[in-house]
Amino acid sequence: MNYKVQTLNNISKKALKALNEKYTVLDQPENPDAILLRSFKMHDMDIPDSVKFVGRAGAGVNNIPLEECSKKGIVVCNSPGANANAVKELVIAGMLMSSRKVVDGIEWAKTLADKGEDVPALVEKGKSTFAGPELYGKKLGVIGLGAIGVLVANMAVDFGMKVYGFDPFISIDNAWGLSRKVKRSVNKEAIFKNCDYITLHVPYMEETKDFVNADLLKDAKPGLRLLNFARGGLVNYDALEEAIEEGIVDTYVADFPNERLLKMKNVICIPHLGASTPESEENCADMAINSMKEYLENGNIINS
């Protein structure tokens, strides 16, 4: 049996190379048995009737028409946890950037250097302008305690932060591998009232659209640093803009802003880079490929 696999975007070439002679991988094969994709949006695509399996090399499945796949009897698997370490490292970088004004400092230094200013003098001048608080001893709320949230929470404990965890779907007791030093929070309101930093790690779906809204932000602890490397739709942008203007949110660090937010001084925006490390890309592809082989060859659904 030879299985035809369609790759829709950016699947690790190294992982694909490891497929054996039973598989033919193409960009546009006729009658593919399986589709492998990263964040390509499948909603507008005509899914060929031959497809039996869709493998998402990544965590979120909001780019896949799950209902349609389900009706057609197509098995969909993602790669839970495979990019968690990469995202964790970016979140920690985001917290440090928002605290220590790294981005403002770099921009300032570059602008002045471009103007021909004396660099050593410039270094001294920036010292007080860009001072910012340490993470040590501050309160961090981690919302969403899946693979990524747990790694972020544990890492923050190691940084000496007081960490509070909340998940809208699972009990904190079921957050596998979570440090015992992470305190349970009863709801998201408590996290927003008390925390200096909050990071979002919930999936984007009907139930989590505008998860961070005006009600939540108006009672948030003033000076909040909010990080969102999950999905843009989790935050209501109008409410966020207001909270930034009122000084409730000190900094928003994210990879899904809109144009208005992008121009705001208190917004640190980067491309969607959470999973963009060679290690994570390979891990995700390996996991999706493994699930595909297990299903096509043995009929097993493993999703891990």
Which is catalytic among the residues 231, 241, 281, 282?
231
Q: What are phi and psi of 142, to 5 degrees?
A: -110, 115
Nearer to ligand MLT, 260 or 272 (CB): 272
Residue numbers 219-278 binding ligand MLT by CB under 6 A = 272, 274-275
Distance CA 158, CA 181 (A): 10
Nearer to ligand MLT, 59 or 75 (CB): 59
Minimum separation from the CB atom of position 74 to ligand MLT (A) = 19
**Residue 272 designated active-site:** yes
Of these, 4, 16, 19, 39, which contacts ligand MLT (CB under 6 A)? 39
Quickly list DSSP for 219-257.
TSPTTEEEEE-S-GGGB-HHHHHHHHHTTSEEEEEES--
Site string for ligand MLT, 43-62 (x = CB under 6 A): ---------------xxx--
**Residue 231 designated active-site:** yes
Q: Which residue is nearest to ligand MLT (CB)?
A: 58
Minimum separation from the CB atom of position 94 to ligand MLT (A) = 15
Q: Does residue 83 touch ligand MLT according to CB under 6 A?
A: yes
Of these, 12, 23, 33, 38, which contacts ligand MLT (CB under 6 A)? 38
- Bridge-based pairing state of the strands 53-56 and 75-77: parallel
Beta bridge pairs of residue 226 = 198, 252
Q: What are phi and psi of 43, to 5 degrees?
A: -60, -30
- The angle formed by the CA atoms of residues 40, 45 and 49, to the nearest 5 degrees, is 120
Per 3-state DSSP, the chain is made up of helix, strand and coil in percentages (nearest 5) of: 40, 15, 45
Minimum separation from the CB atom of position 239 to ligand MLT (A) = 23
Closest C-alpha among 110, 108, 103 to residue 126: 108
Q: Provide the binding-site residues for ligand MLT, judged by CB under 6 A.
A: 38-39, 58-60, 83, 272, 274-275
Give catalytic residues, as residue numbers. 231, 259, 272
